[in-house]
Structure 1
Amino acid sequence: MMTLQSPFTPPSAGAAAVPTTQSALRLSLNPVLDRRGTVDGAWWPHTRDADAELPVLISAVDRRLNRAVLRVGLYLDAWDHIPRRIPARGGQVRVGWFRSADPYLITLTIAGTAPITLLVIPPDTANGPAMAALTRAAADTAGIRPSDILHPAVPDEGMPGQDGSASWENEGGRVADLVPAAT
């Protein structure tokens, strides 16, 4: 997991994998960024104030990828104070907002490469689940829905598969018992 810190938090030797101070940027990126997963990483903002949170995110992603972020797309109802443009390295980053997008995702259009999609961990998420989501989103996420990264399913007892999918028939009914009951 690649973790970035805000320019306001000086890195220290032996720093934790994910910063825990209020001013630290909580961001994880898949080091490969192969675009095969559902998301390319995760971001855990401190607030829902897009005007305050987005400049730090954009600056960190610019530095990490050594390319300029050109545009940000986000879910309208998940944020407060959404600006139309954000000053950034060498110009302005345009911000688009949508109601048809996944509320847990933010898309960053990057100069010279494919856009990256980040899972947005709600600011009020408890530390343990948020840290687990930061870690999981930076790994292989192919075939995993964003909401499943945030809220992993508890497997059915005795049923194979993380989400109990092996216990469902093809046409929507639950298989009675995979193992016959003892008589």
Structure 2
Amino acid sequence: MGSTEGISHTGFHAGSSPAKNDSRAAAQVARRRVRAMSATLYPTLPHREPVAAPAARLALKTDGASRGLLDGAWWPRSRDLLSELPALTDVLDSLWGRVTRIAVNPEHWPVLPREIPVSGHVVKVGWFTSEIDPHKLLLLSYGTGRWDLLVVPPETGAESAARLMAAASDHDGPPLTASALIAADAARYAVSRTDQALDPDEAWEYEGGAPAVSVAANRQTGPPGPASRLIIGM
């Protein structure tokens, strides 16, 4: 009798009575069922593939020897050098050799990081307030050479941008600085930077809907000659 009382007393204090064990087990089963039901109510969201950045909008001279003060033109979509430069180097690394350094005038670039990671390497950034035209980008490729691009302001209208890019990538020049070229175009055509609104087809082409790479041939009346410029992303 005494031993029976001892067992029941111990079981009471230890919480190990058969009734409590059954209740505890039932509660655990119920919790597992709730968790299983909850899992079916919140399915895993599908994985989204990263969106590819738009191709850089470029017009480049194709001649072996550069003439004039510019080697072409670049029309970035923003003044964020950190996000714009990788698309540019994706094109130029394969055409001109790996771009290792760039230099700009800080007037039109609000943020200038010391280095910019691009595909497969890092580009070092330098800036000069008097040595570099505010509308020009200077690029250096180790062991290959130097190139100077007109930077068409991102907010420029498509018609003005097309004229500027054609002029900067022309075989013979022009013999103008980047800022002088922009000023001359604005004075000649007396248009605002945003120009006139394009129709949907034109807008689609200028925003990258046209083939990524195209070549514009020299304008001439005789037999076709070599291509004078390479147009990319327009």
Residue type of the alignment partner of 2:143:
G
Aligned twin of 2:82: 51
1:75 aligns with 2:105: yes
Contact 2:55 2:87 in 1 (8 A): no
Contact 1:68 1:110 in 2 (8 A): yes
Closer, same or farther: CA 98–88 of 1 in aligned 2, 3 Å: same
Contact 1:44 1:130 in 2 (8 A): yes
Contact 1:45 1:53 in 2 (8 A): yes
Once residues 110 and 50 of structure 1 are traced to their aligned partners in structure 2, the CA distance between those partners, rounded to angstroms, is 18
1:149 aligns with 2:148: no
TM-fit CA distance, 1:8: 3.6
Show the 5 A alignment for 1:23-172.
23-65=54-96, 67-100=97-130, 101-139=132-170, 140-152=172-184, 153-154=187-188
TM-fit CA distance, 1:89: 4.7
Query: Looking at CA atoms only, which structure, 1 or 2, has the larger radius of gyration?
Result: 2
TM-score normalized with structure 1 length: 0.66
Aligned twin of 1:164: none
TM-fit CA distance, 1:97: 1.2
TM-fit CA distance, 1:114: 2.1
Contact 2:73 2:168 in 1 (8 A): yes
Give unpaired runs (5+ residues) of structure 2.
1-50, 190-234
Once residues 154 and 82 of structure 1 are traced to their aligned partners in structure 2, the CA distance between those partners, rounded to angstroms, is 33
Partner SS, residue 47 of structure 1: coil
TM-fit CA distance, 1:150: 2.1
Once residues 182 and 109 of structure 2 are traced to their aligned partners in structure 1, the CA distance between those partners, rounded to angstroms, is 18
Aligned twin of 2:33: none
Give unpaired runs (5+ residues) of structure 1.
1-6, 10-22, 156-183
TM-score normalized with structure 2 length: 0.53
